[in-house]
Chains A and B, each alone.
Chain A
Amino acid sequence: MAKILIVEDDKKIREELELFLNKHGFEAIGLVDFQNMIPDILAQNADLLLLDINLPMVDGEYICKEIRKVSNIPIIIVTSRNNEIDELLSLNNGADQYVTKPYNIQILLAKINALLKRSQNKDTNQNKIDCKEFILNVSKSMIEAENKQIELTKNESKILYYLVQKRGQIVSREEIMSYLWDSESFIDDNTLTVNMKRLRNKLQEIGKADMIETKRGQGYLLK
């Protein structure tokens, strides 16, 4: 489990972010004491650092620069300063990503995942998701089951991935669309219907067509 260190002085944001990241399969820890930040951050030995710029005592940019001197840890700068110059400055100080508040949480999550994937080189493990009945290979957009391999389109793969993440819960059509839009696939209602139909047909090929159940007026449920 990847360990994420949150350096943020707003208590509520810190706690809610911890809660959110813990829910999404990370081990999130918030830094509470801002006295000796740099040694404290390094001591945590985290896999990724979420760093606010406006901090008490020291500036986030300074911390970023100092940590870069001794560590290669991926750093995402989170700030409410929304301008090009601050962004350039942060990236020059060695930050890997720059996210402005109030952020789109799904995009933040996607950026965290992308950075972790790159830094840990664990592609093979992370990209294959075991769903009991089949294995979803995200990087190849494929379903693998009982010596059968079925190719999915990019959108179908994303939809299935999202349903797998939310397995056992009813997922509304809007939620699925919102997820796809975050990854810049701007599909409309009709396209989603078509995609769902095709996805079911493909699951049919491995005899699992009824895995996705339609809940009228509510959405879909992956059993």
Chain B
Amino acid sequence: MKKFKLWKEKVNYFLVLLMIVITIEIFLIPFPIHFMIRIYIFLAPLLGLVVNISLECFQKKKYYETVLETMKELDQKYLISEMLQTPTFVEAQILQEILIETGKSMLENVNQYKYLQEDYKEYIELWIHEIKTPIAASKLVIENNKTEATKSIAEELEKIENYTEQALFYARSNTVEKDYCIKKVNLKEMVNASIVKNKNLFISEKVNIKLENLEQEVYTDSKWTIFILNQILQNSVKYMKKDEKQITISAKEKKNQVVLEIQDNGIGIPKGEITRVFEKGFTGTNGRMSEKKATGLGLYLCKKLCHKLGLKIELNSELDKGTLVRLVFPKNSLTMLD
């Protein structure tokens, strides 16, 4: 903390008074006044001033020190005005008044944005529900009129569907309130649902899928988890090059946890970039390859949603060998992982 020297401002008073006293002493020279009285006239005003200044500085110092101390302890510094005692001197009273006013106005401002964001989130959710109806209708039309052209449109529709889903979860991930529901779910059911959802991608890319030991019960929100699995699996398929494309999904039981591992034999991630893959907007060397069109949102969202659900997500990768994503679930509803 910066040291404030309150007395420095008062040095001027002292100097002015000193000048006045010296002038008075000079004027008094022709008069026969007792030596002691002269000293008194010289010292009394100066002493009085010093005592006054000291008292004032002490009082102010004490007050501002407590203010700075409380500030240091506060987590939300903007709440300082609520924590202040009413000061005894006017300057600080004015300042407190100002602080309270600015605090209030800032809170109003923040609330306005909070409300706007909430409003926007609601609109996005509504929009996404609306857009699903025309997507569903288009899919039905395609199902009833199968040609090479509609098949190609179906592929594009699937992309639209994935992007909308991502937007929905992005909106959900940003709110404070809890809009998920944690219950006991079978791991295999979620993995299967996610594979079925992405089956066209897997089949057209000729990916071989191996499932091992997935008969496990975990506590989570299945809709959210399936979304997370979708992101991970879509990433795996996106960054594959070899002829023998392989994804192995397996589960291991640990003390209080079930660890789900998704291993692919894709192109892997350069060492220096592994720690950054969960950052928002990070695309990396792989994502910048022209045809990949990485958004830098998938894994960021996974991490955020995992955090909300109380799951752990880890990623390991070796260049040209493949990537391993681990999802750690709590085995009972009371253990939450951080």
Contacts and interface: CB of A to CB of B under 8 A. Distances in A.
Nearest to A173: B203
A181 B199 contact: yes
Central interface residue in A16, A17, A23, by most chain B CB within 10 Å = A16
Interface stretch (A78-86, A152-160, A210-218): A78-86
Contact of B137 (A13, A23, A81, A100): A13
B199 A84 contact: no
B141 A174 contact: no
Interface in A155-201: 174, 177-178, 181-182, 184, 186, 188-189
B74 interface: no
A182 B203 CA distance: 12
B183 interface: yes
A79 to B, nearest CB: 9
A184 B180 contact: no
B41 interface: no
A20 B206 contact: no
Contact of B139 (A80, A82, A102, A186): A102
B200 interface: yes
Interface string B120-139: 00000000111011011101
A87 B161 CA distance: 20
A184 B214 CA distance: 13
A181 B196 CA distance: 6
B136 A102 contact: yes
Interface string B129-155: 110110111011101100000000000
Contact of B141 (A12, A104, A188): A12
Contact of A104 (B157, B196, B206, B209): B196
B129 A83 contact: no
Contact of A188 (B157, B161, B209): B209
Contact of A16 (B137, B195, B209): B137
A101 interface: yes
B199 A101 contact: no
A150 B168 CA distance: 50
A9 to B, nearest CB: 9
Given A12-B137, A20-B143, A84 B180 contact: yes
Interface string A73-116: 00000001111110110000000000011111101000000000
Given A101-B133, A102-B161, A188 B143 contact: no
Given A107-B196, A184-B192, A189-B206, A20 B132 contact: no
Interface in B140-188: 140-141, 143-144, 157, 161, 168, 179-181, 183
A13 B133 contact: yes
B211 interface: yes
Q: Which 9 A-B pairs have the closest CB atoms?
A: A16-B140, A80-B132, A102-B136, A84-B181, A181-B199, A101-B136, A12-B137, A102-B135, A80-B129
10 contacts: A23-B144, A54-B129, A80-B130, A101-B136, A105-B139, A105-B143, A178-B200, A181-B202, A186-B202, A188-B206
A58 interface: no
A19 interface: yes
A10 interface: yes
**Secondary structure dominating the interface of A:** helix
A60 to B, nearest CB: 13
Interface of B: 128-130, 132-133, 135-137, 139-141, 143-144, 157, 161, 168, 179-181, 183, 192, 195-197, 199-200, 202-204, 206-209, 211, 221-223
Interface string A17-52: 101100100000000000000000000000000000
B196 A13 contact: no
A100 B133 CA distance: 10
Given A104-B197, A177-B203, A17 B208 contact: no
A82 B223 contact: yes
A13 B144 CA distance: 11
A80 to B, nearest CB: 4
B243 to A, nearest CB: 12
Contacts of A100: 132
Contacts of B192: 184
Contact of A102 (B132, B196, B206, B221): B132
Nearest to B199: A181
A130 to B, nearest CB: 27
A34 to B, nearest CB: 16
A181 B181 contact: no
B133 A19 contact: no
A52 B170 CA distance: 26
A32 to B, nearest CB: 17
Contacts of A20: 140, 143-144
Contact of B211 (A19, A23, A80, A186): A186
B209 to A, nearest CB: 5
Contacts of A184: 192, 195-196
B140 A178 contact: no
Given A20-B140, A101-B135, A102-B136, 9 more contacts: A16-B137, A16-B140, A84-B183, A103-B139, A104-B196, A178-B203, A181-B199, A188-B208, A189-B206
